[in-house]
Amino acid sequence: MNHMRLPKLTYLEPETIEEVIELKEEFGRQCAVLAGGTDLIPLLKRRNISLTHLINIKRIRGLTEISYSENRGLSIGAAVTLRDVINHPICSGSYSVLAEAAKAVAFNQLRNMATLGGNICLDSKCTYYNQSELAWKSRAHCFKRGGNICYVIRGGTQCYALSAADAVSALISLEAELIISGPGQPRRTLVEGFYTGDGLNPHRLDGNEVVTTILIPPVANGWRGRFLKKSYRGSADFAIATLSLLLKGNGKVIEDLRIALNGISSKPVRARQTEAFLTGKRISDGTIKEAVQVLLKEASPLSLIGSSAFLRRGMIEAMFADLMEEAS
Amino acid sequence: MEKRIIKLTVNGEPHEIGVKPNDTLLEVLREQLGFVGAKEGCGVGECGACTVLKEDKPVLSCILLAMDAAGSNITTIEGISTGEALAPLQKSFIQHGAVQCGFCTPGMILTAKELLDSVKNPTLEQIKEALSGNLCRCTGYTKIIEAIQAVRDDAK
């Protein structure tokens, strides 16, 4: 059997969100939304997941559009490609942390296909889970494969697969919201609150719901931001850690700031304790050193996907110190 | 699995072909239309050997469903030469010995073509970044980059 062929499928191309919801209600766990497909298609090819129906959402009006107004901010359709995010003049302007994060995802060809909604809804990653069907024949199945064992955290009672999406920390630092459509009225939720921390079901998304739009409030004057990603091999690799920092300062005094991390454990982290610690403080080597300790404590990185918690702590510390020095 | 007729324009020529829902664009290009320039390397979107241009942008045809690509304009390596006359990048790859086993070459050239078409006078860093999704297991990157730089410099 040639595993590089896709399994048998039904391909659906609805024209409205309502149709997507109806299809999701009808086919339940046997279907998935197809946007860029850069994660989903390899998962299907490797037989990591099995599905009978794919629902392409890229032909739905509005889902591939970006709009901006000074009052409401930026509105990005879930099926907008990362390339279009990077190239959009507003995204690369006042929302530069988002453009930098989008640039950090994989490589050229993938960014031309992958979507922002897909990055937000990216399945969690694991050195063990993401192996071929053949590899799984030789060992007991983990939580994410329907078993009851975790190979990453020995003795773990849940799945600890990595929350790996690069754009997520940038979106959290921008206090972005999602519009999620379902059988009832569409709901809004902060990106920050969208993640469960359980690698098995990482998103707070019901089976019949779909993320349609990403809303990012206006960035007020005086705020500046930077996004950093550390990985072994430049961009074309999963992160050791990503860090996004937005800061409003008056000289060396921090008036307000937002810090978010991802790619370090099963959940992105909004570093609220570090934010509280630094608000109102003057940036100095001493405050940065103290703040790093607060940050590492609340980030609590795990050893996953080829990076140890030790390495992750070191990288978080280095990135944070760089960004704070740059900001001062 | 129901077959469906899709329209694809490949290298400027319109085609109507019956495809299955689980056919990738790569499979349709190679097996039904005979454009075997695009290669299957890893099959899961990591190596870039299957790179083709969709609406002039490089994409990975091994993880793109053919039905998803319906209606689009595709350029393969076969489409960038004019008759017998090779494109400047193709000539330059030959002149610089930028081809060893040749498996990555079509993808490399198409990715480089889009870079040179969209970025004026790209830097070494920009060339490397653009090629970061195309793996050469012969590790012939130095000559590949030189070949691209030569075309860039000729265009000045």
Q: B49 and B106: one domain? A: no
Judge whether B1 is closer than 8 Å to chain A, CB to CB. Answer: yes
CB atoms within 10 A of CB A87: 14
Who contacts B83 (Cβ-Cβ below 8 Å, separation ≥6)?
Answer: none
pLDDT tier at B114, thresholds 50, 70, 90: very high
User: What are the distances in angstroms from CA B59 to CA A38, A109, A186, B10, B78?
Assistant: 10, 5, 33, 14, 16
Judge whether B65 is closer than 8 Å to chain A, CB to CB. Answer: yes
In a domain, A304, yes or no: yes
* Chain B residue with minimum CA distance to A42: B44
In the DSSP assignment, the letter for residue B30 is I
Cβ atoms A158, A126 nearer than 8 A? no
Judge whether A133 is closer than 8 Å to chain B, CB to CB. Answer: no
pLDDT tier at A1, thresholds 50, 70, 90: very low
Tabulate helix, strand, coil % of chain B (nearest 5). 40, 20, 45
Distance separating alpha carbons of residues A127 and A139, to the nearest angstrom:
14
User: What are the distances in angstroms from CA B45 to CA A258, B51, B101, B133, B145?
Assistant: 34, 9, 20, 9, 22
- Between residues A238 and B154, the one the model is more confident about: B154
Give the pLDDT confidence score for residue A72 in this predicted structure. 94
Element (H, E) at A247: strand A241-250
Distance separating alpha carbons of residues B155 and B149, to the nearest angstrom:
10
Distance separating alpha carbons of residues B29 and B74, to the nearest angstrom:
10
Q: Residue A324: how many CA atoms within 13 Å on its side-chain side?
A: 29
Please spell the DSSP secondary structure of A9-22, one letter per residue. -EEE--SSHHHHHH
Considering only A243-252, A266-275, B100-109, which range has the smallest mean pLDDT? Answer: A243-252
Number of domains in chain B: 2
Give the structural domain span for B48: 4-79
Flag if B40 and A112 touch (Cβ within 8 Å): no
Last residue of a domain, one of B27, B47, B79: B79
User: What are the distances in angstroms from CA A209 to CA A56, A114, A125, A181?
Assistant: 14, 20, 22, 6
Cβ atoms A97, A171 nearer than 8 A? no
Q: B99 and B57: one domain? A: no
Element (H, E) at A35: none
Please spell the DSSP secondary structure of A200-236, one letter per residue. SS-B---TT-EEEEEEEPPPPTTEEEEEEEE-SSTTS
Give the pLDDT confidence score for residue A137 in this predicted structure. 87
ipTM score above 0.95 = yes
Whether this prediction's pTM lies above 0.90 is answered by yes
Shortest distance between the Cα of B1 and any Cα of chain A, in A, equals 6
Last residue of a domain, one of B79, B108, B139: B79
Tens digits of per-residue pLDDT, A235-262?
678 899 999 999 999 888 999 999 999 9
Q: Which two tokens stand for residue A172?
A: 């959290």
Number of domains in chain A: 1
Shortest distance between the Cα of A222 and any Cα of chain B, in A, equals 31
Residue A3 has pLDDT above 60, yes or no: no
Cβ atoms A323, A291 nearer than 8 A? no
In a domain, A299, yes or no: yes
List the single residue in A4, A6, A235 with the smallest CB-CB distance to B40: A4
Shortest distance between the Cα of B25 and any Cα of chain A, in A, equals 12
* Chain B residue with minimum CA distance to A106: B133
* Residues of chain B contacting A115 with CB distance shorter than 8 Å: none
Write the CATH number for B44.
3.10.20.30
Q: Among residues 19-38 of chain B, which lie with CB inside 8 Å of chain A?
A: 21-24, 27
Write the CATH number for A316.
3.30.390.50
Flag if A110 and B22 touch (Cβ within 8 Å): no
In the DSSP assignment, the letter for residue A86 is H
Shortest distance between the Cα of A130 and any Cα of chain B, in A, equals 12
Shortest distance between the Cα of A322 and any Cα of chain B, in A, equals 22
In the DSSP assignment, the letter for residue A287 is H
Give the pLDDT confidence score for residue A235 in this predicted structure. 63
Distance separating alpha carbons of residues A103 and A83, to the nearest angstrom:
8
* Chain B residue with minimum CA distance to A12: B21
Residue A318 has pLDDT above 70, yes or no: yes
Q: B75 and B9: one domain? A: yes
In a domain, A227, yes or no: yes
Q: Could you give the residue ranges of the DSSP H alpha helices within B2-95?
A: 25-27, 88-95
Q: How far is the first Cα of chain A from the last one, in angstroms, to the nearest whole number?
A: 59
Residue A153 has pLDDT above 90, yes or no: no
Write the CATH number for B143.
1.10.150.120
Which of B51, B74, B132 has the highest number of chain A CBs within 10 A, making it the mutation to test binding with A?
B132
Cβ atoms A316, A301 nearer than 8 A? yes
Last residue of a domain, one of B13, B47, B79: B79
Per-residue pLDDT, averaged over A151-156, amounts to 85
Flag if A108 and B21 touch (Cβ within 8 Å): no
Q: B93 and B70: one domain? A: no
Flag if B59 and A112 touch (Cβ within 8 Å): yes
* Residues of chain B contacting A132 with CB distance shorter than 8 Å: none
Q: B59 and B122: one domain? A: no
Residue A313 has pLDDT above 50, yes or no: yes
Q: B70 and B101: one domain? A: no
* Residues of chain A contacting B67 with CB distance shorter than 8 Å: 11, 13, 56
The structure tokens 């040749």 sit at B102
